[in-house]
Amino acid sequence: MAALGITVALLVWVATLLLISIWKQIYSSWNLPPGPFPLPIIGNLFHLDLKNIPKSFTRLAERYGPVFTLYLGSQRVVVMHGYKAVKEVLLNYKNELSGRGEIAVFQAHKDNGVIFNNGPSWKDTRRLSLTILRDYGMGKQRNEERIQRETHFLLEALRKTQGQPFDPTFVLGGGPFNVIADILFHKHFDYEDKTCQRLMHLFNENFYLLSTPWLQAYNYFSTYLRYLPGSHRKVMKNVSEIKEFTSERVKEHHKSLDPNCPRDFTDNLLMEMEKEKHSAEPLFTLENITVTTADMFFAGTETTSTTLRYGLLILLKHPEVEEKLHKEIDSVIGPSRIPAFKDRLEMPYMDAVVHEIQRFINLVPSNLPHVATQDTAFRGYVIPKGTVVIPTLDSLLYDNQEFPDAEKFKPEHFLNENGKFKYSDHFKAFSAGKRVCVGEGLARMELFLFLTAILQHFNLKSLVDPKDIDLSPVTIGFGNIPPNYKLCIIPRS
Ligand code: HEM
């Protein structure tokens, strides 16, 4: 009996060695960037801290250099770290490396819409969306008017707090939410409206859950984990509830469409659908339009709203910065005129603070995953078709040479010695190249106008000693999620 046990153990041992050696041979036959040796099935899972994958990438880059390979579940991943490698990928390999890597919980969006689309319809859907947005609503002036109109509602909602402590999440969210709702559906919601609150809750919850360790694991190991219970199910449920909402809006719009008088982004997409009616393979189907509007709604609300919320927390910790902002606003705009985007030219400090908030919070640290659409020669290596490519953004935003003391919040990172705004090419919070954020112009305008208006009318008051405010994110993954907090806002008279 003992002899049989030993024989079985030996056989298992030999088989394992054999498997590892076959795996090693296959693995080393590719001319891939260097990286830690992966184990079968789990790959390099143990090289990553699921609570802080961006930090693991930084550690691995110190060991393997700015371009390295990992295996995560069944996916081969090449990570780009640092200004040169990231810029090279995004700007010199526009076609080869601009596919979208799969995000398992967004399976339902995979071949439609813009953000998660890695199918043949991505290029045209993105191009048409950008054209409509520019012509219809994202032209600078139309957007400025739209944001200025919304500013009144935002200030009103803030005034209603009457100097009492409140959680700013859904009040601040109301501004970006209504701006994008107006662009997409020509709709405006009261900040306390149930549908508005529900949608903001879904966006907020998904951004949080997507950034938790479980969802990081799920993303790479969904083949094994999909049947288990867990928060991935909640994210998918939320995604489908958001999609139900946009689907209803798209259907309503379709019924009442007047091609001579398009009301918004959705009408413009529907008009394209009508044009393609007789095509054998139409791109702009009701499904594609539904997913495109859902993508824009989520991305257009949650990113800007989280930046505003994190931004106010940073200002609570740095009252000296808030004071300088009040002074600049008072001297350039005064107490009552509504802020305009061109004021930015005379407000280098506010401009620098907005940039520094975005740099410091590093909202999407590892960018969204790209994928190689063909075998690609890169710096003497070959990145095979289908490889996930991660052009990390935190490696630029936290580059200590470009931004000395990068771990500290310092508006001076964006100011020259004369106090003028200093541009940095490392500021790539919106990424770059063919997949660059579609809403960059809109988000920049919203951040400047909303923040300026809030500080024009209110002083921020912390409920705790500023020294005790911890700015570390509560969870790090898809995004860096700010801690929950309350504050008071006191009208400036
Ligand atoms: C502070 C605000 C924002 C930040 C930091 C941000 C950041 C990003 C980043 C890092 C990407 C991925 C780029 C890549 O894959 O290389 C992205 C993509 C995208 N963003 Fe934004 N974003 C913001 C606001 C917005 C807004 C307001 C909208 C909508 C109007 C929007 C719509 C999109 C879309 C549609 C994509 C997908 C582009 C594609 O895959 O072709 N974003 N954004």
Is the CB of 266 inside a 6 Å radius of any atom of ligand 1?
no
pLDDT tens across the length of the chain (493 residues): 677 777 777 777 767 666 665 555 555 557 999 999 999 889 999 999 999 999 999 999 999 999 999 999 879 999 999 999 999 999 999 899 999 999 999 987 889 999 999 999 999 999 999 999 887 755 668 899 999 999 999 999 999 999 999 999 999 999 999 999 999 999 999 999 999 999 999 999 999 999 999 999 999 899 889 899 999 999 999 999 999 999 999 999 999 999 999 999 999 999 999 999 888 889 999 999 999 999 999 999 999 999 999 999 999 999 999 999 999 999 999 999 999 999 999 999 999 999 999 999 999 999 999 999 999 999 999 999 999 999 999 999 999 999 999 999 999 999 999 999 999 999 999 999 999 999 999 999 999 999 999 999 999 999 999 999 999 999 999 999 999 999 999 999 7
Asked if residue 11 is part of any domain, the answer here is no
Residue owning the nearest CA to atom 27 of ligand 1: 300
pLDDT in tens, 9-31: 777 776 766 666 555 555 555 79
Asked if residue 381 is part of any domain, the answer here is yes
Structure tokens at 43: 């790959």
What is the Cα–Cα distance from 78 to 34, expressed in whole angstroms? 9
**CATH no. for residue 377?**
1.10.630.10
What is the Cα–Cα distance from 214 to 196, expressed in whole angstroms? 28
Decide if 294 contacts 274 (C-beta within 8 A): no
| Nearest partner of 197 among 174, 227, 224, judged by Cα | 174
Is the CB of 442 inside a 6 Å radius of any atom of ligand 1?
yes
Which residue in the block uniquely carries the two structure tokens 């709203």?
A: 305
How far from the centroid of its chain's Cα atoms is residue 421's Cα?
A: 25
In ligand 1, which atom is closest to the CA atom of 367? 10
How many domains, the chain? 1
Per-residue pLDDT at 474: 98
Asked if residue 214 is part of any domain, the answer here is yes
Per-residue pLDDT at 243: 97
Helical (H) or strand (E) element with 382:
strand 381-383
Q: Is 437 annotated as a binding residue?
A: yes
Asked if residue 392 is part of any domain, the answer here is yes
Per-residue pLDDT at 29: 54
In ligand 1, which atom is closest to the CA atom of 434? 41
Per-residue pLDDT at 224: 87
Per-residue pLDDT at 223: 87
Asked if residue 281 is part of any domain, the answer here is yes
Asked if residue 479 is part of any domain, the answer here is yes
In ligand 1, which atom is closest to the CA atom of 183? 30
What is the Cα–Cα distance from 65 to 334, expressed in whole angstroms? 51
The range of the structural domain enclosing residue 383 comes to 44-491
CA atoms within 13 A on the CB side of 66: 17
User: In sequence order, what are the beta bridge partners of 389?
Assistant: 78, 370
Is the CB of 103 inside a 6 Å radius of any atom of ligand 1?
no
Q: What is the 3-state secondary structure (H, E, C) of 79-92?
A: EECCHHHHHHHHHH
Taking the alpha carbons of 260, 264, 268, 274 in that order, is the dihedral positive or negative? negative
Residue owning the nearest CA to atom 21 of ligand 1: 437
In ligand 1, which atom is closest to the CA atom of 133? 30
Per-residue pLDDT at 450: 98
User: In sequence order, what are the beta bridge partners of 69?
Assistant: 78
Asked if residue 14 is part of any domain, the answer here is no
Helical (H) or strand (E) element with 184:
helix 169-185
User: In sequence order, what are the beta bridge partners of 458?
Assistant: 491
Q: How far is the CA of 73 from the centre of ligand 1 (A)?
A: 27
Per-residue pLDDT at 422: 98
Q: How far is the CA of 368 from the centre of ligand 1 (A)?
A: 9
Asked if residue 133 is part of any domain, the answer here is yes
| Nearest partner of 177 among 156, 205, 146, judged by Cα | 146
pLDDT in tens, 209-242: 999 999 999 998 998 898 999 999 999 999 999 9
Helices (H), 276-424: 286-317, 319-332, 348-361, 394-397
Cα separation values, 304 from 179, 300, 349, 415, Å: 11, 7, 20, 23
Is the CB of 138 inside a 6 Å radius of any atom of ligand 1?
no
